[in-house]
Chains A and B, each alone.
Chain A
Amino acid sequence: MENKLIILIVIILGAIAIAQLVRVYEISAKLRKNEEHEISNRDNRLNAKLMLGFMVALFISFIYLMTEYGWTGRGVAASVEGKETDFLLNLNFVIIIMIFFLTNFLLFFFTYKYVRKPGVKAFYYPHNNKLEMIWTVVPAIVLAVIIILGLQTWNDLVAPTGKEAIRVELFSKQFDWTARYAGQDNTLGKYDYKLTTDNNELALLTSNTIDSALNNMMNGSNGISRIQKLLNNRDTIFNDSTSNALRTELSRKERLYRLLAQMKANHNKKLDASAWDDIIQKDTLVLCKGQEYEISLRAKDVIHSAFFVQMRAQMNAVPGMPTRMKFTPSMTTEEMRKSKNNPSFNYTLMCNKICGGAHYKMKMIVVVKDKAAYKAWVASKKKETFKDKYFPAPAAPVAAVVADTTMTN
């Protein structure tokens, strides 16, 4: 409270001080018969010098920032693609820094040099087609180079991946990430958001998950039967707003139920296997150095964005629309720790699209291992497939057989 008072007092005193200064200035200006619209030569020169001084300060601070901070935070690129874009970035930086220095220099220098001097008249120079042509054509040529190089890289970055790329899905929701590996068949199981249940957070599509989703929709803690029961309750019947809300909810759930039933009728059981062997990984994303990754992205609630700073990779995850990205890690976590000289360094997958209050906390640790370590990790996960973890054999005899056959393949 006292601090607030002090703040207020300082503001008021400041205003009074300025007012007094201006009064003094006004009176002295009247004495000197100075007019506001006539800028004195002294003021002109002073500002011209300040302009030149500012330019020097600007350039020095730029060079300082560039050398001190330019690349420290970024570090080296940790993916094959990132190296390519970093090269292009550096090239473009050279071009724009040159333009920055040149044009800012001309601007401030001209301001300094051509400030009004008594008796010197400005040079009447309305236009010069040749000059204008030059600075239309030269930027156009430079830009053509930038465009061509940029588009070549871009086409590489968005080209489809090969067969040997490992497929991983990043599933995003407020406020965490879940990774899903495609498993042994390297095919991600299909999904449908309506299949989401406590046991199937990623909404994977199998015969069993359809059944459990139907069951959940009908008999779950907030299922259709419960809502119907609530609607028949005497208290609810007489409460318009509650019963209306319940009726809306009921019709929504009935619609979803019908869609699920339809899904069940049309379901092709052969699809189950590709989902059963998927491996769901919650805490960390483990990647292999030198391995190309085809990453699909999915969002449950709002738009998120998968951002791997050191890999120079980013793509949005959009509800209702699958998106993809690819990259090939080129440095293990250990190598990056050495390069950064920071033994506690970790790659992180951040969310980079505003997604709610805890947006800034939405992250996942990424570990890049070398081939041997990665293989060992994969082996350790063999018995932790979607099926093993959430729908162990007794619950699904039919599907288990299908899954087993793919395993033996």
Chain B
Amino acid sequence: MASVAHEGHGHDHHGDHHHHEENFISKYIFSQDHKMIGKQFLMTAVFMGLVAMILSILFRIQLAWPGESSDFLSFFLGEKWAPNGVLKEDMYLGLVTIHGTIMVFFLLTGGLSGTFSNLLIPLQLGARDMASGFLNMLSYWFFFLSSLLMLVSLFVESGPAMAGWTIYPPLSALPQAVSGSGLGMTLWLFSMTIFIASSLIGSLNYIVTVINLRTQGMSMTRMPLTIWAFFVTAILGVLSFPVLLSAALLLVMDRLAGTSFYLSDIIVGGEMLANHGGSPLLYQHLFWFLGHPEVYIVLLPALGLSSEIIATNARKPIFGYKAMIGSILAIGFLSFIVWGHHMFVTGMNPFLGSVFVFTTLLIAIPSAVKVFNYLTTLWKGSLVLTPAMLFAIGLVSTFITGGVTGIILADSALDIALHDTYFVVAHFHIVMGMSAVFGMFGGVYHWFPKMFGKMMNTRLGYAHFWITLVGAYGVFFPMHFVGLAGAPRRYYDYTVFTDNDLPTADMMMDLNVIITIFAIVAALGQLIFLFNFFYSIFRGPKAPQNPWNANSLEWTTPVEHVHGNWPGALPVVHRWPYDYSKPGADTDFIPQDVPLAEGEEEH
């Protein structure tokens, strides 16, 4: 509705927008403007990411120097959770759990999709705003509330949730089994419930906007790949997040109402429970039915952003635009029928396992297509290595390096020996964590001028990129070998190896120290980013309208944000967004709203 109204304004008397002066609250807090909401998502996610990063440093210190007193630990955790600076084993699990939860959901789902879908969907489609500004605002505030609840759970007396980010019952259902399954888990579940509501509202809004509010001439096959990625991501979210909600709801019932969805034949803490007939595997099926699409909910926006960044800065059209769309769709579809590869050794029917091997390995095909298309886009380009471009290239590298180990883990016979070891941790951190983080950083550097009207400092960007890239590989490359040696994940220390297989334990410890040092360096490197980010918001040089000479519509809007995005009529689209270095053109880029020249052919 709102956009329809804006449309009218836009055509008739666009000056209207400047009349209603906005106060502080409606402009910065309860804003319904998609650009502001995008920034709100970004700020919240950056803060959450910072928290999760500190948590990871805390447990990495324990892993590298187990049992040694650390001032850093006692500084953050105090006497209760780190008496004399030595981490408590329960809290170790709590840190691991909340680190995973925040990173996956709050940074990489809320932060990545929330920020850039909000910012770019209307701007790149030529829309005045999202289909529903109010729902968009609601989506952010639910996200904010759920972030708050998740943070609060860290300060509960019995500790935060400690069952791993996947919170498998019965561990997560029984407070007798681990202290974090008390109030901490309740808060986790409430926080995630609200998060899911936020994600659903947001995703529905994105889908409706993409379908209905494209400007004149913006056919589906003229949309930038970013929009395709956000669009498919939103569809994945709408179809899969409700399943997680149902999983969480059943868990809440088991915890509070005495039902037996996931519980059967259990004796815990000397107490014989009467629950019978439930199945913990039901939870795992429900969880991974979200959990696997979630990987692509995290990854696709990053791939979309990097497609745009690479094409712009290679001054070349993205190679195989239609194939890229096809592979996004194929990945999206396949992501729904592969969840069982997380469950090869859970007792799931082995035949079912072999079906999942097949479907999972199929995903490698569209992924390979994407990689080769990126490579061909770089080939014979004229590369401008902005910080954003470097991060996008880094993304392609981590996507390859993390992706190939997926081929091993998808093979059920090989997964048996590697399941739940650090090999898995290394695999998904590189392919999902690092790729998505690189995509996000690339996005921030690239669209910072659009968000804040200022430029970020390039030199600091370079320093940040190199520290992050070296840190990322320094952390997760050696981790594969810790896992290959058989180190289980979520282990507080490796005394089991020290006692029975000392050389292997020594090797693990060597690598763990290296990993932790790289992790600390990489974490410190993020301070450069934070500094650059906030400094540039206030003191950065003013951005030109189209700093990267890009084609997509967001660069046709004025630097100063206006309600409705374009002060005059909405732009009309005449071509795809990748006319870079087109032969016969005067410049090496032709924005989408430039009509085809006489005799010019569309791509």
Contacts and interface: CB of A to CB of B under 8 A. Distances in A.
Interface of A: 3-4, 7, 14-15, 18-19, 22, 25-26, 35-37, 39, 43-44, 47-48, 50-51, 54, 58, 61-62, 65-66, 69-75, 82, 84-85, 88-89, 92-93, 95-97, 99-100, 103-104, 106-108, 110-111, 114-117, 120-128, 131-132, 135-136, 139-140, 143, 146-147, 150-151, 153-155, 157-158, 173-174, 192-194, 196, 252, 255-256, 297, 300-303, 305, 307, 309-310, 312-316, 318-323, 340, 342, 344-348, 350-361, 363, 365
Nearest to B478: A65
Contacts of A158: 350, 353
A54 B90 CA distance: 39
B492 A43 contact: no
Given A50-B466, A302-B174, A305-B420, A110 B353 contact: no
B361 A147 contact: yes
A158 B502 CA distance: 32
B417 A312 contact: yes
Contacts of B321: 126-127
Given A37-B544, A100-B400, A360-B89, A318 B281 contact: yes
A96 B408 contact: yes
Contacts of A310: 486
Interface stretch (B216-224, B285-293, B455-463, B591-599): B455-463
Interface in B442-474: 449, 455-460, 462, 466, 469-470, 473
A192 to B, nearest CB: 8
Nearest to B323: A132
Contacts of B544: 35, 37
> Which of A65, A75, A173, A356 has the most chain B CB atoms inside 10 A of its CB?
A356
B247 to A, nearest CB: 15
B543 interface: yes
Interface residues of B, number: 145
Interface of B: 71-72, 75, 88-90, 93, 162-164, 168, 170-171, 174, 177-179, 263-268, 272-274, 276-281, 314-317, 319-323, 345-347, 350, 353-354, 357-358, 361-362, 364-365, 368-369, 371-376, 378-386, 390, 393, 396-397, 400-401, 404-405, 407-408, 411-414, 416-417, 419-421, 449, 455-460, 462, 466, 469-470, 473, 477-478, 480-482, 484-488, 490-496, 499-504, 507-508, 511, 527-528, 531, 535, 539-541, 543-544, 547-548, 578, 580-583, 588, 603
Contacts of B93: 354, 356-357, 359
A281 to B, nearest CB: 18
Contacts of A72: 485, 503-504, 507
Contact of A357 (B178, B322, B466, B496): B178
Given A110-B375, A125-B376, A352-B419, A157 B413 contact: yes
A128 B171 CA distance: 53
A122 B319 CA distance: 13
A360 B492 contact: yes
Contacts of A82: 417
Contacts of B393: 51, 107-108, 111
Given A92-B408, A143-B362, A151-B354, A135 B372 contact: yes
A302 B268 contact: yes
B397 A143 contact: no
A354 B541 CA distance: 50
A111 B369 contact: no
A348 B226 CA distance: 49
B379 A74 contact: no
Contacts of A312: 416-417
A261 B88 CA distance: 44
B267 A193 contact: yes
Given A108-B393, A127-B320, A151-B412, 9 more contacts: A71-B484, A88-B414, A96-B408, A127-B321, A127-B323, A136-B365, A297-B347, A352-B419, A361-B495
A14 B470 CA distance: 21
A116 B383 contact: yes
B290 to A, nearest CB: 19
A103 to B, nearest CB: 5
A353 B420 contact: yes
Contact of A345 (B368, B417, B492, B500): B500
Contacts of A320: 263-266, 276-280
Given A124-B317, A132-B369, A146-B407, A319 B266 contact: yes
A125 B380 CA distance: 9
A111 B588 contact: no
Given A35-B541, A54-B470, A196-B267, A318 B346 contact: yes
A365 B500 contact: yes
A361 B496 contact: yes
Nearest to B89: A357
Contacts of B378: 107, 110-111, 114
Contacts of A96: 404-405, 407-408
Contacts of A140: 365
B390 A348 contact: no
B103 to A, nearest CB: 17
A405 B350 CA distance: 39
A43 B361 CA distance: 40
A133 B345 CA distance: 36
Contacts of B494: 360
A14 B527 contact: yes
A307 B414 contact: no
Nearest to B393: A111
Top 4 nearest A-B pairs by Cβ distance?
A73-B485, A320-B264, A309-B486, A37-B547
Contact of A110 (B362, B379, B470): B379
B268 A301 contact: yes
B281 A321 contact: yes
A262 to B, nearest CB: 13
A314 B383 contact: no
Contact of A307 (B376, B488, B603): B488
A165 to B, nearest CB: 17
B401 A100 contact: yes
A314 B581 contact: no
B385 A43 contact: yes
B413 A37 contact: no
Contact of B353 (A74, A154, A342): A154
B287 to A, nearest CB: 13
A4 B73 CA distance: 10
> Which of B162, B168, B578 has the most chain A CB atoms inside 10 A of its CB?
B168
Contacts of B531: 15, 18-19, 22
Given A174-B177, A303-B171, A116 B350 contact: no
Contact of B488 (A22, A297, A322, A350): A350
Contact of A342 (B347, B502, B507, B511): B502
A19 to B, nearest CB: 8
A350 B397 CA distance: 35
A7 B57 CA distance: 15
A99 B276 CA distance: 49
Contacts of A363: 496
B345 A315 contact: yes
B412 A154 contact: yes
Nearest to B493: A360
B19 to A, nearest CB: 33
B486 A74 contact: yes
Nearest to B456: A36
30 contacts: A7-B72, A18-B460, A18-B531, A35-B455, A39-B386, A73-B508, A85-B414, A88-B414, A93-B408, A107-B375, A139-B369, A143-B365, A150-B412, A154-B357, A301-B170, A301-B268, A303-B280, A305-B345, A309-B486, A314-B419, A320-B266, A320-B276, A321-B281, A344-B500, A353-B168, A354-B163, A360-B89, A360-B494, A361-B495, A361-B496
Contact of A117 (B365, B382, B504, B543): B382
B382 to A, nearest CB: 4
B170 A125 contact: no
A196 to B, nearest CB: 6
A321 B490 CA distance: 24
